[in-house]
Amino acid sequence: MSKTLRGGLVATVLGASLALVATPALAATGDYDPSFTPESSDLIGVGSDTTQIAMHYAAEGYGDVAGYNAGLTTGRIASFQADNGGTITLPSGDIDRPNGSGAGKALLYGATDNADIDFARSSSALSTTEVNASLYAFPFAVDGLQMAVSGNVATHAPASLTAEQIVGIYDGTYTDWSELGGTAGTIVPLIPQSGSGTRSFFLAQLKAANGGVDVTLAGTVTETQEHDPTDIEDDADAIAPFSTGRAKLVGDVISLENGFLAQRAMYNVVRASGLADEDIQAVFGEDGFLCSDDATALIEAAGFEQLARTTDDGVCGEATQAATSNFTANTSASTVETATALTATNPAARKVKVTADVTATDADPAGTVVFGAGSTSVTADVVDGVATATLTGVKGGQQTVTASFVPTDADAFTASSDSVSLLVQDRSVTTVTAPKKVKAGAASKKAVAVKVAVKYQSRTSGTVAGKVKLLKGKKVVATLSLKKGAASAKVVLPKGTSTLTATYLGNKAAAASQDSTKVSVVK
Can you tell me whether residue 376 is helix, strand or coil?
Answer: strand
In this predicted structure, what is the pLDDT of residue 7? 30
Instruction: List all residues 6 or more positions away from 78 whose beta carbon is below 8 Å from its beta carbon.
Output: 34, 36, 38, 42, 43, 44, 45, 59
Q: Say whether both 432 and 514 belong to one domain.
A: yes
For residue 269, give Cα distances in angstroms to 12, 98, 127, 141, 225.
24, 14, 12, 13, 22
Residue 75: inside a domain? no
Residue 42: inside a domain? no
Q: Say whether both 442 and 462 belong to one domain.
A: yes
Average pLDDT over the chain, rounded to an integer: 91
In this predicted structure, what is the pLDDT of residue 333? 55
Domain end, chosen from 424, 448, 466, is at 424
Residue 474: inside a domain? yes
What average pLDDT score do residues 336-351 get? 95
Can you tell me whether residue 206 is helix, strand or coil?
Answer: helix
What average pLDDT score do residues 121-150 get? 97
343 CB-contact burial (10 Å; exposed 0-12 / middle 13-18 / buried 19+) = middle
In this predicted structure, what is the pLDDT of residue 344? 97
Residue 290 clears pLDDT 70, i.e. is over it: yes
CA 10, CA 5: separation in Å to the nearest integer?
13
In this predicted structure, what is the pLDDT of residue 331? 66
Q: Say whether both 347 and 419 belong to one domain.
A: yes
46 CB-contact burial (10 Å; exposed 0-12 / middle 13-18 / buried 19+) = buried
In CATH, what number is assigned to the domain containing residue 371?
Answer: 2.60.40.10
Residue 402: inside a domain? yes
CA 383, CA 389: separation in Å to the nearest integer?
12
Domain end, chosen from 400, 424, 448, is at 424
Count of domains forming the chain: 2
What average pLDDT score do residues 393-413 get? 89
Q: Which sign does the torsion angle of CA 489, 490, 494, 495 carry?
A: positive
User: Each residue of 376-391: pLDDT tens digit?
Assistant: 889 999 999 999 999 9
Q: Domain range spanning residue 517?
A: 428-522
Q: Say whether both 348 and 388 belong to one domain.
A: yes
In contact, 46 and 80? CB cutoff 8 Å: yes
In this predicted structure, what is the pLDDT of residue 251? 87
CA 135, CA 127: separation in Å to the nearest integer?
10
Neighbours of 348 (CB within 10 A): 13
Residue 260 clears pLDDT 60, i.e. is over it: yes
Q: Say whether both 445 and 518 belong to one domain.
A: yes
Q: Say whether both 443 and 400 belong to one domain.
A: no
CA 498, CA 194: separation in Å to the nearest integer?
67
Instruction: List all residues 6 or more positions away from 123 whose beta carbon is below 8 Å from its beta carbon.
Output: 48, 49, 50, 51, 101, 143, 196, 197, 198, 201, 243, 264, 266, 267
Per-residue confidence band for 2, with pLDDT thresholds at 50, 70 and 90: very low
In this predicted structure, what is the pLDDT of residue 309? 95
Q: Residue 200: which of 222, 215, 186 has the closest Cα?
A: 215
Q: Say whether both 484 and 512 belong to one domain.
A: yes
To the nearest 10°, the Cα dihedral for 446, 447, 449, 452? 100
Q: Say whether both 438 and 514 belong to one domain.
A: yes
DSSP sequence for 255-324: EEPEE--EEEEEEEEEEGGGTT-HHHHHHHSTTSGGGSHHHHHHHHHTT-EEBPBGGGT--BT--BSS--
User: Each residue of 25-71: pLDDT tens digit?
Assistant: 333 478 999 999 999 999 999 999 999 999 999 999 999 899 999 99
Residue spans of beta strands (DSSP E) within 31-118:
43-47, 77-79, 87-90, 93-96
CA 18, CA 67: separation in Å to the nearest integer?
11
Q: Say whether both 413 and 449 belong to one domain.
A: no
Half-sphere exposure of 105 toward its Cβ, with a 13 Å CA cutoff? 29
Residue spans of beta strands (DSSP E) within 92-212:
93-96, 119-122, 135-150, 160-161, 188-192
What average pLDDT score do residues 173-199 get? 95
In this predicted structure, what is the pLDDT of residue 332? 56
Residue 138: inside a domain? no
Q: Which helix (H) or strand (E) holds 448?
A: strand 445-456
In this predicted structure, what is the pLDDT of residue 85? 86
DSSP state of 66: -
pTM of the complete model beyond 0.85: no
Per-residue confidence band for 355, with pLDDT thresholds at 50, 70 and 90: very high
Q: Residue 22: which of 75, 53, 59 has the closest Cα?
A: 59
In this predicted structure, what is the pLDDT of residue 3? 52
Number of H helices, E strands in the chain: 8, 29
Q: Say whether both 512 and 476 belong to one domain.
A: yes
Burial 263-289 (b: 16+ CB within 10 A, else e): bbbbbbbbbeebbebbbbbbbbbbebb
DSSP state of 176: B
Domain end, chosen from 424, 456, 477, is at 424
CA 360, CA 17: separation in Å to the nearest integer?
36
Residue 317: inside a domain? no
